Structure 1
Amino acid sequence: MTLSRRKTLALIGGGAVLAATAAAGYDVTRLPRDAMRPWDLAGQYADPRMRALSWAILAPNPHNLQPWKVDVSVPDEVTLYVDTDRLLPETDPFSRQIVIGLGCFLEVLRMAALADGLEVTFDLFPDGSDPLRVDARPVAVCRFAPTGAAPDPLFAFVPRRRSLKEPYDTSRPVPADVLDRMAAATRHFGMGRTTDPARVQGMRDLSTEAIRIEFATERTLRESVELFRIGHREVNANPDGLEFTGPMFETLRLTGLFTREASMNPDGFVAASADAAFVETMQTAMGHIWQVTPGNTRLEQLRTGMDWVRINLAATEVGLGMQPLSQALQEYPEMSGLYDEIHRRLAPGGGTVQMWARVGYGPDVMATPRWPLEAKIVGGTG
């Protein structure tokens, strides 16, 4: 997660930043290199299943919880489970977004294996599933076998894929054919899209209102704040959640201006900074994309994720930034009005809006931290 550096500086003034930087320059300039190592290790394993898994753990997922764990004890198989200790009970009470993240994982696994000359077939929810909660039953049994099929060209963009949460360039429109290419990458449910200025502005405003509701609701805000990783030391120790790194955030940590406790104060500096930053980012959307499924089954959620990561990779291929807008799709009482409204706008004929994102052109950003693959293996050694 990032706040606009320009907005933050305007709010706190340069003096505190300069003083802290001079006092602790080394600490301020450190990056969480340990937490980034899985990006360098992807593909560097002898076992082809481990190679594929080392790419799969780089898949997008809600709040960067990385809610997957795998068993590799059976030869030529990987069994995927949801890590039930890594859920979002306040903002994602039915774990719909968690399951979508697992679908992203499976699709990257499939593409990585295919690049290695292996086909992966999935037995999805072999022991069934619960529509209201996730549990200890397997999400997928993944079986690997040789194949002569060609690699998926989107796989080449896995190392460069990002969620771009910075403001976008409002002077640069998104061409319709770029969004068409992204839509063509889907395999299950397709992709809605718009760059119509009036419709985009309406969605800018709705996404801004939704994030303000989440931040104004104490329990949903706390759920995110408890996942804050502030500074390189916290990120290296826990390479998940919402990371805040780089000179600006290291400085705010050192000055005591940015802490988890301070983040819960609705009248404090962090709240004001966050609001300014989110208004800036939401209001620079140059287009919106979305996915709608006929129903809302676990299989549909999983396949949504498979398509979602493909859309993200296709965006990477054409140099377009995208940021998921999950807030209005969350199923808790305070969000119900906007949940109904986004469905009225994006699924007027019925169905479930599973994903929604803003798109545009923006700066290059760092990859998000990851736990090492070995931390995700619960059976077998690979």
Structure 2
Amino acid sequence: MITRRALLLTGGASLAVLGGAGTYVLSKDIDPARAPWEAASRGFGDIRLDAAAYAILAPNPHNRQPWAIELKGEDRLVLTCDLDRLLPETDPPNRQITIGLGAFLELLRQAASEKGYEARITPFPEGEPYPLLDERPIAEVVFTRAKVRRDPLFGEALARRTLRDNFSSKPVSPEVLEKLRALAFDGAPDWAGAAPGRFAWSVEEERVEALKALCREGWLAETSAPAPHAESTKLTRIGASEVNANPDGISLTGPMMEAMQLTGLLSREKMDEKGSLAHQGTLNFYNGLIDSAAAFGWLTSPANTRADQLQAGADWLRLNLAATRLGLGFHPLSQVLQEFPEMAPHYERCHAMLGISAPARVQGLFRFGYAAFPEPAPRWPLQSRLIAL
């Protein structure tokens, strides 16, 4: 699997020089890191764990999986943020991390309802943590056996993917995007305590091209900013062994990645070295993803409280599940929404281009198109996310 910072580099020569090692390279896989996707469908015999087994599969920034889960009594679950999993350089105000926690809670709620339980979510029972997340709970959840409406999107939970590949030339029609909106939001529950957000899109050629240019500029700004780029590089797992040992962060796997690592063409140091094949390949690959966008969509919120961010996470997950239902490729382009100093002009231009002004906020920018769905992303097992009592 080649994920967010994957490299578009020619690997044929690298494979050739490996000789006998080639068989070893081609045989490696990351099935152990994907095991939580299969485990979710088996269950654990406790509704809280059964629901959490799905919730840990939610999308989240840099795949940091920041959830810390504590079971209390017989029917409660408390979600806190693992503060060791923040992204202080690319996400200084912890906004993106909070969005990921909102996606977790929405998928938790859906999984509970599928088994005939209401998951009553109380966000921030001890107050919203500002300016940074802290040890206070993100949410307390009480599970009650009840006659509840099953969420029609939950059927896509194990098929949901974030597509980090070039999209085909097939256009995305306005009708498909309107159907996407309806599937995601018509009748959606409101548990975050925030005003409803808004989803808008464009397939208009001039606007799509302008957004592509903006995203390329944002991507270059991130890779050119030393501290944010170093943060991403540090979290890159190269090859199956690294991914299986640490199934989070940015995964680069597959025969080409293994070969390039073994021949010294690919390393975290090379990715940090401007002008290197690895650094330039990273730039080229991601620019190709941006340029293949057939349509853009964006999520906005009326304000930017922690509750708004949780709501954005729930909306994000629902959009991703609805896109899966429609066979539509879904990929966030988050760079221009990041809040470190070097990104400020691109952040402001994005909001101006989309007609969003304070206190409203763009919470997510996505490209849409068509491509084959990949295998699931790595995940830490549920047991590793539980707080020991």
Same fold (TM over 0.5): yes
Whether the 8 Å contact between 2:309 and 2:363 is mirrored in structure 1 is yes
Where do residues 15-54 of structure 1 align in structure 2 (5 Å cutoff)? 15-20=13-18, 22-43=20-41, 44-54=43-53
1:297 corresponds to 2:297 = no
Q: Distance in 2 between matches of 1:91 and 1:369?
A: 21
**1:83-103 Cα deviation digits (max 9, x unpaired):** 100011011000000000000
Q: Deviations over 1:132-164 (max 9, x none)?
A: 200000000001111212211100101011110
Residues 263 and 270, structure 1, Cα contact 8 Å, conserved in 2: yes
User: Matches of 1:346 and 1:144 in 2, distance apart?
Assistant: 40
In structure 2, the residue matched to 1:91 is 90
Distance 1:2 1:338, change over 3 A: closer
Q: Which moved more, 1:111-120 or 1:36-45?
A: 36-45
Question: Which residue identity does 1:29 align to in structure 2?
Answer: S
Q: CA contact under 8 A between 1:200 and 1:288: conserved in structure 2?
A: yes
Structure 1 residues 82 and 347, CA gap change in structure 2 (3 angstroms): farther
Unaligned runs of 5+ in 2: 189-195
Q: TM-score, normalised by structure 1?
A: 0.95
Segments of structure 1 that go 5 or more residues without pairing to the other structure are none
The question of whether the paired residues in 2 share the 8 Å contact of 1:68 and 1:102 is answered with yes
Q: How does 1:133-282 map to 2 (within 5 A)?
A: 133-170=132-169, 172-184=170-182, 185-186=184-185, 187=188, 188-282=196-290
Q: Separation in 1 of the partners of 2:355 and 2:39? A: 41
Normalising to structure 2: TM-score of the pair?
A: 0.94
CA distance in 2, matches of 1:27, 1:166: 22
Q: Percent identity?
A: 38
1:131 CA drift (Å): 2.8
Contact 1:72 1:379 in 2 (8 A): no
Separation (CA, whole Å) in 1 of partners of 2:33 and 2:313? 24
1:79 lines up with 2:78 in the alignment: yes
Map Cα deviations across residues 47-91 of structure 1 (whole Å, 9 max, x no partner): 111110000000000000000011013211110000100011011
Encode CA deviations 1:259-287: one digit per residue, 9 max, x unaligned. 11111101101111111111111111100
The 4+ residue runs of structure 1 with deviation greater than 4 A are 2-5
Deviation sequence 1:296-339 (CA, Å, 0-9, x none): 10000001101110000000000000111110000111110000
Deviation at 1:349, TM superposition (A): 4.8
Aligned length: 375
Q: How does 1:332-343 map to 2 (within 5 A)?
A: 332-343=340-351
What is the CA–CA distance in structure 2 between the aligned matches of 1:258 and 1:349, rounded to whole Å? 42
Question: Match for residue 123 of structure 2?
Answer: 124
Q: How many Å separate the matches in 1 of 2:14 and 2:256?
A: 11
Select the residue among 324, 340, 354 that pairs with 1:346: 354
